[in-house]
Amino acid sequence: MRDFITRRARLLLPAMAIVAMLAAVACGGDDDEEPTPAAEATAPASQATSAASPATTAPAAAYPVKVTDLLGRQVEIKAKPTTIVALSPTATELVYAAGGKVAGRTSSVDYPEAAKAAKDIGTAYQPNFEAILALKPDLIVADSVIHAQPNLRQPIEQLPVPVIFAGADSYQHVLDGLTLMGKVLDAKTATDKVIADITKARDEAKAAIAGKQISAVALIADRDNTLYAAKDASYAGDILKQLGITNPAAAQPDAGPFPGYTTLAAEKLVEFNPDFIFAITPAPPPAPRLASLIPTIPPFRGLKAVTQNHVVDAEVQIFLQAPGPRIIEAFKVVANAVKGSSN
Amino acid sequence: MKLTVEDVRLGYNGRVVVDGVSFAVEPGEMVSIVGPNGSGKSTLLRGMSRLQKPMSGRVLLDATDIRAMSARQVARNLAILTQSPDAGPDLTVRELVFRGRYPHQGILQRVTAADIEAVEWAMAAADTAQFATRPLGSLSGGERQRAWIALALAQQPRVLLLDEPTSFLDISHQVEVMHLLRRLNHEGMTVVAVLHDLVLAARFSDRVIAMRSGRVEFDGPPRQVLEPVGLERVFGVPMMILTDPESGLPIPLPRPDPALCPAAHSEPAADSPRASGV
Amino acid sequence: MTGMAAPKAREGGALARRSAFRSFNRPATVFIVGAIVLCGLAFASLMYGAITLSVGQAWSGLTSESDLFARNVVWQIRFPRVVDAMLVGASLAAAGALLQGVTRNPLADPTILGVTAASGLASAAVIVANPQVPQWGIAMACAAGGLGGAGILYVIAWRGAVSPVRLALAGVALSAFFGAAIVGLLSSSRTFLQTSLGFLAGGMYGSEWRDFRAMLPYAAPGLIGAFLLAGRLNVLALGDDVAAGLGVLTDRTRLLILGVVGILTAAAVSVAGLVSFVGLVCPHLARYSVGHDNRLLIPVAALYGAILVSGADLAARLVISPSEVPMGIITAGIGAPFLLYLVRFRE
């Protein structure tokens, strides 16, 4: 059964694109139609993007606006969305960063405080479509990282509500997501400010560390206490990379079930002997923090990071589960940890 | 319908169990196949139906090789009842007998008037109508065997093959079954039965075929072939033949070892336990 | 003897009349009542979920476009899901009935005998190899796996005599082997991990029309084949010799039946993952209702399967709404105690 709205929408898009282009050419001769580099690099490496999408931001007419989301999908936003459902922590935080609010959010979301009041529509990996539709949203913000699989992506796309996919597993994605939200919610000023704050935080953190040759790994452990280290393709790994920190695990082969992480045998960690260990604990308290467990594990007792007390508890929301504007805090945590050392 | 066995060899895994047997069964005959364990009688019977494929030789129904006919076609003309069939205790007699109509039914397995008629006839002929709705598990040995015979009859065959239909039955049930087979035979059914009981074979068949080590040792009317020399050759024990005073038919009995079973008119030997009054 | 026969005949006649009456009425009643229950359950599935639609809303959502919200909820989400659930249940139950008949073992079902796991392994392998594989590709892989599993079962179990013990052992071994392979695959896969619980326990989250379209080419011929093979299965149940004597080609029929089992299982696994117990429980319930004749047993079992799975799926969606429990947990929750009851009181 086809959904009539989206089918008509898909027919309308090319027509409106042509009309919009003609209008832009006719109305605004010297408008800057060159999209910013950050906005045009929206698609992640694995998705091809069409280079022919114009940024139709003649200041006077914010809507309808055609955007390219982080899965390379062209979506048309006809009017400013008022009832938004966000399908992941990242999506939620992006909406709020653009000055919006959500009517529905996933179960684990507890930041910002205002989002807690929104309706629980299921987990990020199993959003409940009925609950979503019951809120009668005019925009769904799904997660380009979590919902990329066809078995999740297709049901979401079939819903009769415009969907944009915005998620992050890198610093650049956070910026792209903010730019996208800025366009979608007509909040470019707000999002530009957040982007500026993030860039500033990164630069400051980078400067604080400059000159020191630091090596660090970001670790998580699963239920069996198998260790996984972040590589560059992961969010935590990208954070380290942005700050110019050497990640010895970056050269490891992909291994294990977590994308962007590699299974790290104990011997490897001893071999790497990084200056810093950022330990992420996915399980909530009262599960013991990985950062306090690592020094107690016999092979690790002699590590530099352990003896010099450089094993840092990295909060799971900031470093793993809710990539987004709070990357600022991530940069601060890393910078503070490193600044304190005399290396 | 004439059933012809033409130089048939049967075996398992390269071992030959029936070695070149030929004979023909005329329509309306009742034939018993006898012989010691391992002589190949059951295998021969299976080879005469489509249950076992001969290594060489043919089996013909009238003039057609049964291997050239489809399995259903053969089943419409020839029914075989193997030893101790088991269908579980829950099936009722009527349900069982209905399954005998399979060779006559089409792909949709509809129950036709012909099917119902055939089932009623089969159950009446095998005298099972009074327990038609009882489950098999609740029947006595003889009743159950009659139910299975009714199943075979529901196929409306012209030839009926049975493998030891009276084993494990007590005397009254043995008699029941043999009387039923004889009655069917008198009504025109060709019957070939493997029997282990020579007395029943003598009483109830027109013809007895004896097998030993995969070959036919003798083949002919009971009065003619059931004689001590031939029987001893087949069974390897000394045999004696009594004659039934009423019918004149032979009653074969194993001749006992005189040392263990003294003759009726002689005194017990002096040093035997009975003599010392133990 | 003859003196005894007369009163027995009278009693037998009365008994025959009573049970003839019962058996005449029974199947029709069972079908009608079952169909009513199924329709009621299906409609309830349209009404209830994370949000509740009233009867009127569900009906208008089903039949008209006046209430767009209800229509979307019904046609986009709930209706395809309940249709998928019914087809999954019918397929698994029919497969279980066929297996119990062909193996003469009341403890047989596609999961216990490893066919479900074989199908699941193929599905997992294909998804891990290509995460973007379309649903019809998954269904095809499941079919290959299901047929492969059924084939291995045939080879292992039908050399020489089939003893229920031997078959059960073979099934347990296959099930364990394939199950371990699935877990191994999942633990190294980067794409599957998060949704694997629904797959491993059996769940219908996200089922929609494309799943129905992908599974129909396997479920439909499978169900039709199961119904057509019922008569032959009846005869096969009497034993190989008797069946051959009645004109059934026993080996070929068994292969055919196992093939049908393979594609029915595949249809179900491609949509719902590793669901257990449906194929075990439903044929037994059907046997209590309409007896041993497979021509009635198999359709009734399929009906009960549709009811069981759509009911379990409804419960799965309601228990911890808006989150979902994998539906297979509920079928196991019903099936396992039933199995224990069988073992304790019936065999």
Hey, what long-range contacts does C7-12 have (CB within 8 A, 24 or more apart)? Answer: C8/B130, C9/B129, C9/B130, C12/B130, C12/B131, C12/B132, C12/B133, C12/B134
The residue type found at C157 is: A
Angle C59-C60-C65 from CA coordinates, rounded to 5°: 145
Q: What is the pLDDT of residue B51?
A: 92
Contacts with A151 from chain C: Cβ below 8 Å: 195, 206
Q: What is the mean pLDDT of residues B173-180?
A: 90
Residue C303 has phi, psi (to 5 degrees) of: -60, -45
Q: Are C94 and C233 in contact (CB under 8 A)?
A: no
pLDDT, tens only, B204-226? 999 999 999 999 999 999 999 99
Lowest mean pLDDT of A105-119, B31-45, C77-91, C153-167, name the range.
C153-167
Contacting C residues, span 284-313, partner chain B, CB-CB under 8 Å = 291-293, 295
Please answer yes or no on whether C241 and B82 come within 8 Å at the CB atom: yes
User: Going by beta carbons, is chain C in contact with chain A, meaning 3 or more pairs sit under 8 Å apart?
Assistant: yes
Percent over 70 (pLDDT), chain B: 94
Lowest mean pLDDT of A279-283, C21-25, C128-132, name the range.
C21-25
Q: How confident is the model at residue C4 (pLDDT cuts 50, 70, 90)?
A: very low
Residue B8 has phi, psi (to 5 degrees) of: -90, 130
Q: How confident is the model at residue B34 (pLDDT cuts 50, 70, 90)?
A: very high
Distances (CA, A) of A312 to A275, A293, A338: 11, 11, 10
Contacts with A4 from chain C: Cβ below 8 Å: 65
Q: What is the mean pLDDT of residues B55-63?
A: 93
Q: What is the pLDDT of residue B69?
A: 93
Contacts with C188 from chain A: Cβ below 8 Å: 255-257
Nearest CB neighbour to A257, from listed C65, C187, C195: C187
Q: Report the candidate in C227, C207, C210, C216 with the shortest Cα–Cα distance to residue C310.
A: C207
Whether A36 has a pLDDT exceeding 60, the answer reads no
Please answer yes or no on whether C50 and A130 come within 8 Å at the CB atom: yes
Closest C-chain CA to B49: C245
Please answer yes or no on whether C231 and B102 come within 8 Å at the CB atom: yes
Cα A97 from chain centre: 13
Please answer yes or no on whether C72 and A159 come within 8 Å at the CB atom: yes
Q: What is the pLDDT of residue C259?
A: 96
Distances (CA, A) of C247 to B164, B231, C251: 21, 37, 12
**C273: alpha, beta or left? (left if phi > 0; alpha if psi -120 to 50):** left
Q: Are C290 and C30 in contact (CB under 8 A)?
A: yes
**A122: alpha, beta or left? (left if phi > 0; alpha if psi -120 to 50):** left
Lowest mean pLDDT of A88-92, B41-45, C2-6, name the range.
C2-6
For C200, other C-beta atoms within 10 Å of its C-beta total 18
- CA pair distance C268, C278, nearest whole angstrom: 11
Q: What is the mean pLDDT of residues C17-24?
A: 50
Please answer yes or no on whether C235 and B102 come within 8 Å at the CB atom: yes
Nearest CB neighbour to C238, from listed B87, B109, B133: B87
Give which of B12, B13, B42, B51 to mutate to test C binding, by max C Cβ within 10 Å: B51
Hey, what long-range contacts does B247-256 have (CB within 8 A, 24 or more apart)? Answer: B247/B203, B248/B223, B249/B202, B249/B203, B249/B222, B249/B223, B250/B202, B250/B222, B250/B223, B250/B226, B251/B199, B251/B202, B252/B198, B252/B199, B252/B202, B252/B226, B255/B228
Distance from CA of C145 to the nearest CA of A (A): 20
Q: What is the pLDDT of residue A45?
A: 40
Q: Is A189 on the interface with C (CB under 8 A)?
A: no
Contacts with A256 from chain C: Cβ below 8 Å: 188
Lowest mean pLDDT of A32-36, B53-57, B259-263, C331-335, name the range.
A32-36
Q: How many inter-chain contacts (B to C, CB under 8 Å) are there? A: 83
For A181, other C-beta atoms within 10 Å of its C-beta total 28
Contacts with C192 from chain A: Cβ below 8 Å: 257
Q: What is the pLDDT of residue B265?
A: 58
Q: What is the ipTM of this complex?
A: 0.86
Distance from CA of C104 to the nearest CA of B (A): 9
Q: What is the mean pLDDT of residues B224-237?
A: 92
Question: What's the mean per-residue pLDDT of chain C?
Answer: 87
User: Going by beta carbons, is chain A in contact with chain B, meaning 3 or more pairs sit under 8 Å apart?
Assistant: no
Please answer yes or no on whether C324 and A126 come within 8 Å at the CB atom: yes
Q: Are A141 and A86 in contact (CB under 8 A)?
A: yes
Q: Is A253 on the interface with C (CB under 8 A)?
A: no
Q: What is the pLDDT of residue B268?
A: 54
pLDDT, tens only, C221-264? 999 999 999 999 999 989 889 999 999 998 889 999 999 999 99
pLDDT, tens only, A17-26? 455 444 443 4
Distance from CA of B162 to the nearest CA of C (A): 11
Cis peptide preceding A286, ω within 30 of 0: yes
- CA pair distance C139, B3, nearest whole angstrom: 52
Q: Is A107 on the interface with C (CB under 8 A)?
A: yes
- CA pair distance A190, C248, nearest whole angstrom: 79
Q: How many inter-chain contacts (A to C, CB under 8 Å) are there? A: 90
Whether C295 has a pLDDT exceeding 90, the answer reads yes
For C270, other C-beta atoms within 10 Å of its C-beta total 30
Strand pairing partners for B19?
Answer: B9
- CA pair distance A25, A333, nearest whole angstrom: 48
pLDDT, tens only, A209-246? 888 889 999 999 887 888 999 999 999 999 999 999 99
Residue with tokens 């084939």: C151
Q: What is the pLDDT of residue A41?
A: 36
Q: What is the pLDDT of residue A234?
A: 94
Lowest mean pLDDT of A121-130, A256-265, C292-301, name the range.
A256-265
Question: What's the mean per-residue pLDDT of chain A?
Answer: 83
Angle C73-C78-C83 from CA coordinates, rounded to 5°: 145
Percent over 90 (pLDDT), chain B: 73
Q: How confident is the model at residue C100 (pLDDT cuts 50, 70, 90)?
A: very high
Q: How confident is the model at residue C82 (pLDDT cuts 50, 70, 90)?
A: very high
Written in H, E and C, the secondary structure of C49-60 is CCCCCCHHHHHH
Please answer yes or no on whether B99 and C238 come within 8 Å at the CB atom: yes
Please answer yes or no on whether B73 and C292 come within 8 Å at the CB atom: no
Percent over 90 (pLDDT), chain A: 67
Whether C19 has a pLDDT exceeding 70, the answer reads no
User: Going by beta carbons, is chain B in contact with chain C, meaning 3 or more pairs sit under 8 Å apart?
Assistant: yes
Q: What is the mean pLDDT of residues B172-185?
A: 91
State the pTM of this model.
0.82
Closest C-chain CA to A158: C76
Please answer yes or no on whether C195 and A125 come within 8 Å at the CB atom: yes
- CA pair distance B134, B96, nearest whole angstrom: 11
Highest mean pLDDT among A217-226, A230-239, C1-10, C47-56: A230-239
Strand order in the sheet with B3-12: B15-25, B3-12, B56-61, B64-65
pLDDT, tens only, A46-65? 444 444 444 445 455 678 99
- CA pair distance C297, B59, nearest whole angstrom: 38
Please answer yes or no on whether C80 and A1 come within 8 Å at the CB atom: yes
Q: Are C63 and C81 in contact (CB under 8 A)?
A: no
Q: What is the pLDDT of residue B256?
A: 81
Q: What is the mean pLDDT of residues C115-119?
A: 95
Q: How confident is the model at residue C171 (pLDDT cuts 50, 70, 90)?
A: confident
Q: Are C247 and B72 in contact (CB under 8 A)?
A: yes
- CA pair distance C140, C214, nearest whole angstrom: 9
- CA pair distance A324, B153, nearest whole angstrom: 82
Contacts with C19 from chain B: Cβ below 8 Å: 133
Cα C124 from chain centre: 20
Nearest CB neighbour to C193, from listed A3, A121, A257: A257
